[in-house]
Amino acid sequence: MAKSDQTWGITPPISIALPTPAETKSTHLLLEELRRQNTFESVTETKKRERVLADLQRMADEFVKRVAREKEPQNEVLIRDARGEVFTYGSYCLGVYGPGSDIDTLVTAPRYVTRDDYFKYFPSLLQEMAPEGAVTDLTVVEDAFVPIIKFEYWGISIDLIFSRIATLKQFPPHGQLNLTNNEYLRGLDDRELRSLNGTRVTKEILNLVPEQSTFRLALRAIKLWAQRRAIYANIIGFPGGVVWAMMVARVCQLYPKAASATIVTKFFQIMKVWQWPIPVQLKHMDDGPLNVRVWNPKIYKSDSYHLMPVITPAYPQMCATFNITHSTMTIIQRELERGAELTDKIRAGKLAWNDLFVKHTFFTTDHKYYLAVIATSTTKEAHKIWSGFVESKVRVLVGDLERVASVAIARPFNKGYERQHRVKNDQETQEVQNGSLAYLARDDENESEVKKENGVEIKTEVKTESNPEVMAENGDPMSLSIKSDPEDQKAKVEDIPDVSSLGTKVYTSTHYVGLELAEGARSLDLSYQVNAFKAMCSQWEKYEASLNYLSIQHVKNTNLPDDVFEPGEVKPTRPLRKVAANGTPAPVGQKKRNASSEVNPPPAKRPQPLQTSAAAAG
């Protein structure tokens, strides 16, 4: 059967119509807009990536040879033919990478090469075989969920993982090893299976779409849209790159001959009305050679709790969206509905494609109340580990918050903000730990870095204010309280080292969670949820009280720091004071008659560790 005539996916196509002239023109306009949005990399930069991968392949071959010499020094044939194989996965493998994208890379080796060998030899090989100065920021994480070596090579971020192929003692010539063969999964442990999974899933996605060029252009558009709308981050509870790829691929299967612009339009039309929890699947479930768990909500109760299941096509099939919460699902559905409205107008010629890619308004207009989850460390090395762990658990806090009756939605922002501070004493350290930005390192020291969308860094003066009360939606004051467990607070205070051991630099990563209050909410006490989250994080086996700290603060929209806003964005401001009948300005927070009297007192100017009694005018 010809590829163009086969049935794609698990159902027949909705339409096999060829593109109309208008749809072809719209696709050209979409391509032009994506180029204007700088989503394509230059030929020079792409060639640079190819050279990096060629270098990694040389290192992989040398790595396997060294292990062969150590383990079987008399086996000349084994040593002579010893080789590894480097694969990519993620955006590079899919062909949708852009400027600044990292390269997700997998090193595979024959069965006699172990993960311990990988971490013993490969980091030093990188330094030895790479050109001088090419490798920077080398970090080895052996006990991660997927063990990894992270580094930059000529300025390109590389995530390098490893798996052996236990069924092969010698690899075929380069380019002939096909990882989609399920037999190569035999004899592997869970970490090796997870390492192979990225490449296997990516290859399967490409094999399961009718036209790869159509798929790639449509996926570039959806990825840009999701990034601009701040709904792109698997670790936080939104779909990641592979999930958006599978969703776009499913639409391509339903419209196998459509143009990319049509796929984008149909993506929103179909996904906004998708009957979750019916899963998005690109193929029927495979039987494989292993006695391992595959996604099946009829057998496994936990699988039935997945809200928006998108199932990976490679055996063993898994749900790639288990992180999605009720709040993030609601935000995704809102954005899909918005996207459907916009693409309908684009198709009708009433709007242009750039209207689809307008930036989110998370900080400017979406919320009045936020929680700031602040992970603090006293060394750069400790902060990489601690901040990464806290980031991976933010979705747990979100899940707890959205179960509070007064909270309608707890929406996490999809990126964290990295800051560095210089402090002179213990008091300043405590202020930084509890959210103060008064001691940011100077810009000319090149020590302040903020994770911004599309690689943009904004460094501005930060102003802080104290605010007496939180205002409800109707303008009446409401109470918002976050109180620390006294025992928890006592333990933490004792653990804070003095400035002599701290040095002068403190590192923070801040994740913001926007709160939408339930209708009629008059007070909000999040003490239990906040303290439970802190306790969970502090019980992590790698937590060190002398190095790590966690604070959760309430921040109102008018008190958000300047560095979360990009040039041209309008920071929320206090409402104008009302004029009383006698002509004098009335206090902003003045209560209406019969309004609730439950209001928190103003917070202290210098917050104490592990405590936020937040009240802000709204």
71, 81, 150, 159: which is the annotated catalytic residue? 159
**Could you give the angle at the alpha carbon of 371 between the alpha carbons of 369 and 374, nearest 5°?**
150
Sign (positive or negative) of CA dihedral 294, 299, 303, 304: positive
* Radius of gyration in angstroms for the set of CA atoms belonging to the chain, rounded to a whole number: 27
Residue 443 annotated to the active site: no
Residue 576, helix vs strand vs coil: coil
Decide if 294 contacts 54 (C-beta within 8 A). Answer: no
In this structure, the number of other CB atoms found within 10 A of the CB of residue 343 comes to 25
61, 104, 117, 476: which is the annotated catalytic residue? 104
According to DSSP H, which parts of 348-439 are helical?
380-401, 426-433
In this structure, the number of other CB atoms found within 10 A of the CB of residue 61 comes to 18
C-alpha span between 364 and 355 (Å, rounded): 18
The pair of structure tokens assigned to 45 is 């930069």
Residue with tokens 């009694």: 613
101, 118, 184, 223: which is the annotated catalytic residue? 223
Residue 305 annotated to the active site: no
Amino acid, res. 157: S
26, 61, 89, 91: which is the annotated catalytic residue? 91
Residue 400 annotated to the active site: no
Could you tell me which residues come within 8 angstroms of residue 334 by beta carbon, excluding any fewer than 6 positions away? none
DSSP secondary structure string, 250-292? HHHHHSTT--HHHHHHHHHHHHTT--TTSPB-SSPPPP-SS--
Residue 91 annotated to the active site: yes
Residue 232 annotated to the active site: yes
C-alpha span between 305 and 277 (Å, rounded): 9
Residue 485 annotated to the active site: no
Instruction: Give the burial class of 581: count Cβ atoms within 10 A of its Cβ; 0-12 exposed, 13-18 middle, 19 or more buried.
Output: exposed
Instruction: Give the burial class of 200: count Cβ atoms within 10 A of its Cβ; 0-12 exposed, 13-18 middle, 19 or more buried.
Output: buried
Q: Find residue 422's DSSP bridge partners.
A: 505
C-alpha span between 211 and 259 (Å, rounded): 10
Which of 415, 411, 422 minimizes the C-alpha distance to 450? 415
102, 366, 426, 495: which is the annotated catalytic residue? 102
Largest CA distance in the chain: 100
Sign (positive or negative) of CA dihedral 172, 177, 181, 187: positive
121, 184, 232, 417: which is the annotated catalytic residue? 232
CA atoms within 13 A on the CB side of 48: 18
Instruction: Give the burial class of 91: count Cβ atoms within 10 A of its Cβ; 0-12 exposed, 13-18 middle, 19 or more buried.
Output: buried
Active site residues: 91, 102, 104, 159, 223, 232
